[in-house]
Amino acid sequence: MQIEAVNVLESDFSPYGRVYDMKSSQGSTDPATRTIHSEGPGWSDSYTVNPLISSNGSLGFTLGSACPFSSAKMERHLLTEEALFCAADPIVLAVAAPTEEDYPSAENIRAFVIEPGTVVVLNKGTWHDACHGVERAAHYYWMATCGLGASPWVEVKGGPVLVTAPEPANG
């Protein structure tokens, strides 16, 4: 099975979590993702009105290989949300909606491109793989409450799923 990632800002991400567009000079008016934007000579700033995740979180920094990648295992966090955001380069996130089963299924996996300046916050229980770079290996940050028990990586039922990135707009 193969899927192509779609831009998270142009897609419905609501089954998996919420999206913050930190680049928008208008700011969001949605109470769940409300942002404030300000600027001055030589700078601009955006911030979330509410805390990014619903608990205190640790900050992590991960390097993911380039697309395409094989999503064979996923994890989920039942007791914390997880925020994900780029360090510099766009990344691809493969997810599956929360399930009652102890595993995700290949047919439920979707993939999203997260550009710099965009933040996604995964709902508790959302299955997810590590993120990967669109065109090359890429670093990204994550924020979640750590130490809440095991976060086992489990096999994707019916997987693996080959995840590809869209062709660059200029190429």
d(CA 100, CA 96): 12
- Cα torsion through 70, 135, 75, 49, rounded to 10: -160
How far is residue 171's CA from residue 169's CA, in Å, rounded to a whole number? 6
pLDDT at position 170 is 62
CB 114 within 8 A of CB 48: no
Q: So what's the pLDDT on residue 148?
A: 73
Separation CA 162–CA 111 (nearest Å): 10
CATH architecture, range 2-37+44-164: Sandwich (2.60)
Is the model's pLDDT at 171 over the cut of 60?
A: no
Mean predicted confidence (pLDDT) in 156-171: 87
- Give domain limits for the chain: 2-37+44-164
Beta-carbon neighbour count of residue 121 at 10 Å? 24
Residue for token pair 């295992």: 73
Distance, in Å, from the CA atom of 109 to the CA atom of 106, rounded to the nearest integer, reads 5
pLDDT tens figures, 44-85: 999 999 999 999 999 999 999 999 999 999 999 999 999 999
With a cut of 70, say whether residue 109 has pLDDT above it: yes
Rounded Cα distance, 30 and 32, in Å: 5
Whether the per-residue pLDDT at 169 is higher than 70: the answer is no
Confidence band (pLDDT; 50, 70, 90) for 14?
very high
